[in-house]
Chains A and B, each alone.
Chain A
């Protein structure tokens, strides 16, 4: 049957083209406008739908992912959930290596989408999940690992979709702020903006990891994601869990936005950048909605108590 005008042919086709909303109450002064790009509006609720779709489509196109082949990926949650949804649509079983100290919702969602979960030690953080996935992949040649940390389709899809969407929605953009995870969003959007809007500032909000999840036995085990192009960044801020939670609560209270922890960190940095500008427009990318964090009750619990608990868990 022919596609219907006005209706997507499949859920996967609805990924991207997310809303942009002005945050009038959060804007720190009248000279500057603050905007949020709502990536939680993607089908599985995070920006990672873009990345998962791009990595799978690229691998199917170049033959590295065969029909029915199993996909293996280290993920702290969102990428795994996106791969699981898309894999289920396209007939690929999905196996996710995930630290055992993330939230219950992620495990629930992965299972609902039909993924198999392999848990890695939470104390080893995301690095531990990466190492374990690499070991599993090395032992089983039938598995296909997209590897978001090193896959050019990750920054590529942000350069070809997220960046142009942002500039179309906020043409006068003067600064862009996003959380730093794999580095794909900042690298891709950053490369696009460097090309077409070189004066725009590209700013990273980076989580200050709790000591219990630093998970390194030696510095050399550390890891700069190959997809991260640090040369496109203009500044890089560390955000502790407390400030990220405060940001997330302000998003909800003042703007009605129910967002995840990395969004709280990104808005904390976005507000700081906006305060320091005399005029201009700041866009903050909110990577996911709050749904996968409800069980941690980030919105209502005592901040000190929450801070102690977050020290030992991996939420973004």
Chain B
């Protein structure tokens, strides 16, 4: 099982859970399992089957958009981090 970390803004959809254990060997499969457990998340995280532009998805610390996107492979020790797009600091 891999772990998906849920940001505060999406915890209403997970009944307050900060992280969810999921099965699957790719990001897409892991997210499908996540949406199966918490159906309300699907429409928040995806738009027409693609990742919402308001959400960034990382495997451990790397943005999947610059790897293989939803096809990025994951192992059981990996953590998927969902983060809302935010104004950066540094400004």
Chain B residues at the A interface, C-beta cutoff of 8 Å? 7-10, 44, 52-56, 58, 61-63, 65-66, 81, 83-91
Contacts and interface: CB of A to CB of B under 8 A. Distances in A.
A115 to B, nearest CB: 15
Given A211-B8, A222-B85, A238 B61 contact: yes
Interface of A: 48, 74-76, 78-79, 125-127, 129-130, 148-149, 179-183, 206-209, 211, 214-220, 222-225, 230, 233-239, 262, 287, 314-316
5 contacts: A182-B87, A207-B89, A217-B9, A236-B65, A237-B61
Contact of A182 (B66, B84, B90): B90
A287 B61 CA distance: 21
B90 A234 contact: no
A299 B54 CA distance: 34
Contacts of A215: 86
Contacts, number: 110
B81 A219 contact: no
Given A214-B8, A219-B44, A237 B85 contact: no
Contact of B85 (A181, A182, A223): A223
Given A219-B55, A230-B65, A236-B65, A127 B44 contact: no
A149 B91 CA distance: 9
A179 B65 CA distance: 18
B10 A233 contact: no
B9 A216 contact: yes
Contacts of B44: 219
Contact of B62 (A130, A183, A236, A314): A236
Nearest to B85: A222
